[in-house]
Amino acid sequence: MKSIQSAGLTAINSIAAFGRAGLFLIHVMLHKPKSFSGAMNLLIKQIYSVGVLSLVIIVVSGLFIGMVLGLQGYTILAKFGSEQAVGQLLALTLLRELGPVVTALLFAGRACSALTAEIGLMKATEQLSSLEMMGVDPYRRIIAPRFIAGLICLPILCVIFSAVGVLGGEFVAVSWLQIHGGSFWSLMQQSVYFSTDVVNGIIKAFCFAIATTWIAVFQGYECEPTSEGIGKATTRTVVLGSLSILALDFILTAAMIGDF
Amino acid sequence: MKNKQLELMVGMFVILGFAALAYLAIQVSGLSGSSSKDVYQIQARFDDIGGLTERAKVSIAGVTVGEVDSIVLDKELYMALVTFNIYADVENIPTDSSFAILTNGLLGEKYVGVSIGAEEEYLTQGGEIYDTQSALVLENLISQFLFESTQGD
């Protein structure tokens, strides 16, 4: 009896959390900024801390992932005598899957955890309630700029990741392993379509951005105002964010491949 | 001053993003103005298309002159009805040309090769090719080979 009751409680709690998160998102999206330039100022600060500061980890991991893909692809494809196809393999894996997914996972670990911790600490030190006391809306002042900055930054980071990855793979395959550069690029260009592969990757990144930053700001806003609570909320952000990225990726890929 | 620096960094970040997008568009996907070329459509019926897919290339003498637009089953004849988009600047394909489904290399993708005919009339929008060669299906080839080799005994 007890176990059934606790299962019911968990179900009710999680549905309630979903509802709160949905209302929270609507609140964030519906709060119009008072003045455009003030909002831009807040937004630019957040883009700097969320996007520009994540650039290093994105570029370095993109470079290495591209190089590893080039090396692995070369060793496997060389067995079939078609090592020129490395370019095709590299570009399609990066643009369709690895670019959006790895960027979003790194983003969840690097930027979203920081968002949760920051908002959580603001809540613990009662900065959010004092803002409210001063008549400043914390949704507008704190949450919305962070959320929108995440939406803007993740697609940009994803595009940069893919481009750097292709460059890294080209470095390994063409400069180091001596694949003919012309066939490397022409096979790549033949198989990659801008309107499907590149644009779909950006759409994926945008969906992941909505999911992870939403989770991050919501967990920060909802966290228990203690140091332990902030730690738990940060962990939850990374775990839930990563899981939702992987699950969303499956759904989006299935929808984009289509024809079933 | 500090705010200016911040704005500068964010601006550079956004520019970097657009540069990466341009790189992906031009160098990686080979996007140029020619991708939305003017085309005209022609049709052909094949007994067996093998692994031909939409967007497969149509080539004359190895040069790409169009691509496969759609593949549907012709329910009356039980044949594959393939519609091609041929680039408008290649307007002089004779009506008795032959379309064959070929394979690029041993394991490569399928494409459609055009052998030019001798007719003086040219294909136009909505034209149809009657001389087609189906894809080579390896199993049929092997069974034919086995059949012939047993006949020889």
What pLDDT digit, counting tens, does each position of A72-131 carry? 999 998 888 777 788 888 999 999 999 999 999 999 999 999 999 999 999 989 888 898
Does residue B153 form part of some domain? Answer: no
Cβ–Cβ < 8 Å for B135, B44: no
Question: Residues near A172 by Cβ (< 8 Å), separated by ≥ 6?
Answer: A66, A67, A70, A71, A74
Query: How close B152 comes to chain A (CA, Å)?
Result: 35
Predicted pLDDT at A11:
93
* Claim to verify: residue B59 and residue B131 sit in the same structural domain: yes
* Domain boundaries, position B134: 37-142
Same domain, B4 and B55: no
Q: Judge whether B95 lies within some domain.
A: yes
* Interface contacts (A, B; CB < 8 Å): 79
**ipTM value > 0.85:** no
pLDDT of residue A25: 86
Chain B residue with minimum CA distance to A161 = B20
Instruction: Answer yes or no: do B1 and B74 share one domain.
Output: no
DSSP state letters, chain A: -HHHHHHHHHHHHHHHHHHHHHHHHHHHHH---SSHHHHHHHHHHHHHHHTGGGHHHHHHHHHHHHHHHHHHHHHHHHHTT-GGGHHHHHHHIIIIIIHHHHHHHHHIIIIIHHHHHHHHHHHHTTHHHHHHHTT--HIIIIIHHHHHHHHHHHHHHHHHHHHHHHHHHHIIIIIIS---HHHHHHHHHHH--IIIIIHHHHHHHHHHHHHHHHHHHHHHHHS-SSHHHHHHHHHHHHHHHHHHHHHHHHHHHHHHH---
Whether B128 is covered by a domain: the verdict is yes
CA B63 distance to own-chain centroid? 11
Question: Does residue B26 lie within any of the structural domains?
Answer: yes
pLDDT score for A259:
57
B13 and B88 housed in the same domain:
no
CA distance A48 to chain B (A): 6
Shared domain for B18 and B29, answered yes or no, is yes
Task: Give the H or E element holding residue B113.
Answer: strand B110-115
Domain-wise residue ranges, chain A: 36-253
The reply to whether residue B7 touches residue A193, judged by beta carbons under 8 angstroms, is no
How high is the pLDDT of residue A158?
94
- Which pLDDT belongs to residue B107? 64
CB contact under 8 A, B24 and A193: no
CA-based Rg of chain A, rounded to a whole angstrom?
A: 22
Same domain (yes/no): B64, B136: yes
Do B26 and B49 fall within a single domain? no
Segment B10-62, tens digit of pLDDT: 888 999 999 998 888 888 877 654 455 688 899 999 888 887 877 788 888 88
Task: For residues B28 and B94, state if they share a domain.
Answer: no
Count of structural domains, chain B: 2
- Same-domain status, B77 and B6: no
- Across the interface, whether the CB atoms of B31 and A194 are under 8 A apart is answered yes
Chain B residues within an 8 Å CB radius of A51: 10, 13
* Residue A159: per-residue pLDDT: 94
- φ and ψ at B16, to 5 degrees? -60, -40
Q: How far apart are CA A170 and CA A43, in angstroms?
A: 36
pLDDT tens column, B70-105: 889 989 989 899 999 888 888 888 888 889 888 876
Q: Are residues B64 and B19 in the same domain?
A: no
**What does the pLDDT read at residue A58?**
94
Give me the tens of pLDDT residue by residue for chain A, a chain 260 residues long.
889 999 999 999 889 988 988 888 888 888 777 777 778 888 888 899 888 999 999 999 999 999 999 999 999 988 887 777 888 889 999 999 999 999 999 999 999 999 999 999 999 898 888 988 898 888 888 888 899 999 999 999 999 999 999 999 999 988 888 887 777 887 788 788 888 889 999 999 999 999 999 999 999 988 888 889 999 999 999 999 999 999 999 999 998 887 55
